[in-house]
Structure 1
Amino acid sequence: MIICCGEALIDMVQVLSDSGQTSYAPLVGGAIFNTAIGLGRLGIEVGIVSGVSNDLFGQQLHDALVVSKVDTSYLVRSNLPTTLAFVSLDAGHASYTFYDENSAGRSFQVTHVPNLFDVQRGIKSCNALYFGGISLINEPAADAYCSIAQKYANDMVIVLDPNIRTNFISNDQTYRQRLQHIIDVADIIKVSNEDLDWLVGGAIPEQQQVHLLRGKNKAIVIVTKGAEGATAYLTAGEVVHQDVPKVCVVDTVGAGDTFSAGLLAKLVSLNLMSKTALANISRTELLESLAYATQVAAVNVSRQGANPPWLSDLKV
């Protein structure tokens, strides 16, 4: 099992009403939620640790997880409101404005963290934890998720996709330090080229950026670059690149999250979801995983909002 740790929220996406006026449709979302949904739809055993409201939006999130075969038994439910993300689209590219004060997700605390080795809860076989998104920005939730990553880093594969939203960061230094704590223990770090520029600066070549990001860690680093594809950097200095399929892009909401789901799903199917296997992954195996991830993400961007594909939606 893979457990996704972080936010589940509602994306308020602009739509045109029947009268031609702009309105907002509440669609389930959140970086961590999207990846969990994507994994479930691809047939991977997956659960989610997150703070979710009892309000109508929280119920919408819960029901969507169930439909996509995500284990919801680790959700921490409360009467606090659901986080809202208002989505603006410019030529299909999404930007976000978050409303997250005193929300169920942001209020998640370390005392809520379940024992991920609890046999009675049925996840003794959990072998990977996935982190990222806005849930790593603000306390107390951000510190709780960081604690989970550090607690289980010796026993489980740790995957990080920071999915940085600069307009939501209130304390740059604290956020960078928290990300660094997870980077230091991560086995896979997936970043967009914009994330990479923000993390280490954009005035140097990409390979040098990756070296600075990785530091002393030996993580696999994957850089996604939108229409320019994705490049993976192995510890030994090897580099592999995968182009993306050509599709008609509706919007990019959830594209990176769906890419992550596809990547992890293929790694599971290749029996590579362990620290030892990832440390010895071949170029061929990594390229196959990247190809599948781009295929999965291509389906998502051809639809409105974050809507990862089911296995039946993929061309065999």
Structure 2
Amino acid sequence: MIVVCGEALFDVFPEQQTRTGLQLSARIGGSPFNLAVGLARLGVPPLFFGGLSNDLFGQRLASALTEEQVDISAAPRLDAQSALVMVSVDNRGVPAYGFYGTGTAERSLVEADIARVPKNAGVIHVGSYCMVCKPVANALRALVERQQGQSVIVYDPNIRLSIEPSVSLWRETLEWMLPRTGVLKVSDEDLNYLYPGQSAEDFIAVALRAGVQLVVVTRGSAGALAATAHGVRAVISAVPVRVVDTVGAGDTFQAGLLSWLWRKGFLQKDGLRGLDIKALETALRFAACAAAITCSRRGADLPHLSEVIFD
């Protein structure tokens, strides 16, 4: 199984002004939540490990995961409130995020909670702001340490400076993760926050030297590039699409990438050694096609396997 660790929350979109205020639309979301749903829709069994509130929002998040056939048996149910994130989208469909809440459920996991995660899990995915917000960050680091040598560790920084504004903390977390990570997916936008002026190619070289087995850098409309520790490199173009918004695009790309690698047997101990140029390019194109479908729809509405058709 793939264990997806981190936040489940509600994205709140302003719909229109009313005479007395704003009409809002609240939608289930959060990067790890989206990833877990995306994996399930693409035919991979995910287990979600994140704090779920007992409040109205948390109950809906739990039921939504269950409806999508995501295993939530490892997710602690907490009395802390659910997080709400206000999402505003510009005229290019690019979202900006504002966080509402402190001491919320997704941040409240502690190290003792990692006992809920099976030690025989094949893949552990961590990322987003739960890797930089305590106490959950400490719990996830402990889980990564526990699973070293047993699971393939996957990391996506997914930087949200509106939630944690300290770039140095995000950078320190990434650098702590590099020697512990098997698969790293990072956007060029995140790299620009962390290392302004450094090229994606230079960062990939640094990550590979640190011990990462597969590094993927997504570049939005410019496509993606990737390299392995065994000298395989690939570059793909983005899939043309009429963009409604890009909410959930990165999560969809990650779901597509991991689901393809999982189904082909690469996401296991030493499995990434078998990635050749043809397999890597196919994995990236599958992920890009899945992401394009999400961009063509409002919000993080990730595709099912039957929808992802590519040459």
TM-score, normalised to structure 2, is: 0.93
3-state secondary structure, aligned to 1:117: coil
Unpaired stretches in structure 2, ≥5 consecutive residues = none
Aligned to 2:245: 251
CA shift, 1:115, in A, is: 4.6
Match of 1:70 in 2: 70
Q: Does 1:151 align with 2:149?
A: no
Contact 1:100 1:106 in 2 (8 A): no
Shift of 1:315: 3.1
Distance 1:61 1:213, change over 3 A: same
For the 8 Å contact 2:221–2:238, the answer to whether it is kept is yes
Alpha-carbon distance between aligned partners in 1 of 2:45 and 2:13, rounded to the nearest angstrom: 29
1:103–1:204 CA distance, 2 compared to 1 (3 A): closer
* Structure-2 change in CA distance of 1:235 and 1:61 (3 Å): same
Q: Distance in 1 between matches of 2:218 and 2:168?
A: 25
* Contact preservation (8 Å) 1:146, 1:178: no
- The Cα shift of 1:49 comes to 0.3
Paired-residue identity, %: 34
Give the root-mean-square deviation of aligned CA atoms.
2.0
Find 2:301's aligned residue among 300, 303, 307: 307
Residues 241-280 of structure 1 mapped to structure 2, 5 A cutoff: 241-280=235-274
The equivalent residue for 2:28 is 28
Alignment check: 8 A CA contact 1:149 1:158 kept? yes
Looking at structure 2, the residues matched to 148 and 2 of structure 1 have their Cα atoms a distance apart, in angstroms, of 14
1:165 corresponds to which of 154, 160, 166: 160
Aligned to 1:283: 277
1:80 correspondence with 2:75: no
- Report the Cα distance in structure 1 between the residues aligned to 2:24 and 2:179, rounded to whole angstroms: 40
Residue in structure 2 matched with residue 208 of structure 1 by the alignment: 202
Larger displacement relative to structure 2 (243-252 or 163-172): 163-172
1:231 is aligned to 225
Runs of 4+ aligned residues of structure 1 deviating over 3 Å after TM superposition are 16-19, 115-118, 170-175
Matches of 2:199 and 2:171, distance apart in 1: 21
Amino acid at match of 1:24: L
Is contact 1:150-1:182 (8 Å) kept?
A: no
1:250-295 CA distance string (max 9 Å, x none): 1111110011001000001111111311133111111111111011
For the pair 1:192 / 2:187, whether they are aligned, the reply is yes
1:101 aligned residue: 102
Distance in 2 between residues matched to 1:172 and 1:141, nearest whole Å = 18
Tell me the distance in 1 between the aligned counterparts of 2:141 and 2:308: 34
1:182 paired residue among 177, 184, 194: 177
Residue equivalent to 2:234 = 240
Shift of 1:17: 7.0
Gaps of 5+ in 1: 119-123
After the TM superposition, which of the residue ranges 241-250 and 165-174 deviates more from structure 2? 165-174
Which SS does the other structure have where 1:294 is aligned?
A: helix
The one-character-per-residue Cα deviations of 1:189-214 (angstroms, maximum 9, x if unpaired) are: 10000112223x23233211222344
Instruction: Tell me how far 1:36 sits from its aligned partner.
Output: 0.3
Q: Measure the CA separation in 1 of the matches of 2:114 and 2:262.
A: 25
What secondary structure, in the 3-state scheme, does the structure 2 residue paired with 1:144 have?
helix
1:2–1:129 contact (8 Å) kept in structure 2: yes
The one-letter code of the counterpart of 1:66 is: T
In 2: Cα distance, 1:75 partner to 1:54 partner: 12
Name the CA distance, whole Å, in 2 between partners of 1:107 and 1:70. Answer: 21
In 2, Cα distance between the equivalents of 1:116 and 1:78?
A: 17
The equivalent position to 2:126 in structure 1, one of 119, 131, 152, is 131
Contact 2:253 2:290 in 1 (8 A): yes
Are the equivalent residues in 2 in contact too, given 1:53–1:59 (CA < 8 A)? Answer: yes
Provide TM-score, normalisation by structure 1: 0.92
**CA distance in 2 between partners of 1:293 and 1:287 (Å):** 10
